[in-house]
Structure 1
Amino acid sequence: MKTAICYYSRHHGNTLNVLKAMAGEGDVDLIDVTTRQTVRLEKYDCIGFASGIYGFEFQKAVVEFARQYLPQGKPVFFVYTYGGAKGSGAKAVAKIAQEKNCRMLGEFSCKGYDTFGPFKLVGGIAKGHPDERDLENARSFYRNLSKTYDRGGQK
């Protein structure tokens, strides 16, 4: 399964660490939504969207990237890291996927070290995350995602 994961990861690189663990499990291209101008996602079997949670939501650049580049009918999944609360998680990007008739394969999330805003005053929250257990869960999620995709008769 050839997979693209379109992501935004800043601050401590929590989301990127999770994605690198997933990428080690298959044929995965990681696409930083802040560096690419034009992307052709049609050639991928499956597309993931990933972000830290910013203000209780996916980073807006990922949402706009999905709106612009997600092809109709592609299987999709979502990945996110969060410090305190999941917020609305992948809700905004999932809505775009639904509007484009995309099959949703799943969602993975885990804690990520967070020093944004007032958390900086106390040395941050979710220290040490994502940890090795989180990364193994991410790898397992992607392996299971591949099986789900294959069972769906997509390949």
Structure 2
Amino acid sequence: MKTAIVYASVHHGNTKKIIDEIAKTKDVELIDATQTVEKDLSEYDLIGFASGVYGGKFHQSVLKFASVNLTDNKNVFLICTYGGRPVFKSIEQVIAYKHDNIVGRFSCKGFDTFGPFKLIGGVSKGHPDEKDLAAAVEFYNGLTEQPVFLK
């Protein structure tokens, strides 16, 4: 199974820690959406979109990358790191428009100093931690060890 994870990890590297841990154990191509604007995704069997939550949405570079490059009828999984709460709606709208199948969602806390969190020294310090990283790998393994069928 050929897998790519398209990601943006901008402030504290929370999302990058998660996807790097997944990539250590499996053959996964990591695509930084802040650096890569276009990429043919048709050759991948499974595509992940990973981002921190910025203003209640996935990072704009991931949303734009998905809207430009995602092809119809792909199996897609989502990963987000957050200080406040997990939010998937922005990327789910793009995926629905492209007629793709969401096969799983993973989220965990990540150190966050954005906006009002900066005033209190940040939230979710120490995350993602070892437990979060192990849970992310377990989530991904669950996707790849089971056959995935389109709706």
TM-score category by the smaller chain? over 0.9
Q: What is the distance in 1 between the residues matched to 2:44 and 2:127?
A: 30
1:126 maps to 2:124: yes
Partner amino acid for 1:45? D
| Residue pair 1:77, 1:106 contacting (<8 A) in 2 also | yes
Q: TM-score, normalised by structure 1?
A: 0.91
Matches of residues 4-153 of structure 1 in structure 2 within 5 Å? 4-86=4-86, 89-148=87-146, 151-152=147-148
Once the two structures are TM-superposed, the CA of residue 152 in structure 1 deviates from its matched residue by 2.8
Q: CA RMSD in A?
A: 1.4
Compute the TM-score of the two structures, normalised by the length of structure 2. Answer: 0.93
Kindly state the Cα deviation for residue 81 of structure 1 after the two structures are TM-superposed.
Answer: 0.2
Query: Where in structure 1 do 4 or more consecutive aligned residues deviate above 3 Å?
Result: none
Structure 2: gaps (5+ residues):
none
Structure 1: distance between partners of 2:57 and 2:128: 19
AA aligned to 2:39 is: V
Closer, same or farther: CA 37–60 of 1 in aligned 2, 3 Å: closer
Please give the alpha-carbon distance, in whole angstroms, between the structure 2 residues aligned to 1:85 and 1:111.
8
C-alpha distance in 1, partners of 2:112/2:98?
Answer: 33
Say which SS state the counterpart of residue 24 (structure 1) adopts. helix
Contact 2:38 2:65 in 1 (8 A): no
Give ranges in structure 1 of 5+ residues lacking alignment.
none
- Tell me the number of residue pairs that the alignment of Structure 1 and Structure 2 aligns: 150
Q: Is the 8 A contact 2:38 2:68 kept in 1?
A: no
Amino acid in the other structure paired with 2:121:
G
Contact 1:83–1:113 (CA under 8 A) maintained in structure 2: yes
TM-superposed CA distance for 1:118, in Å, is 2.2
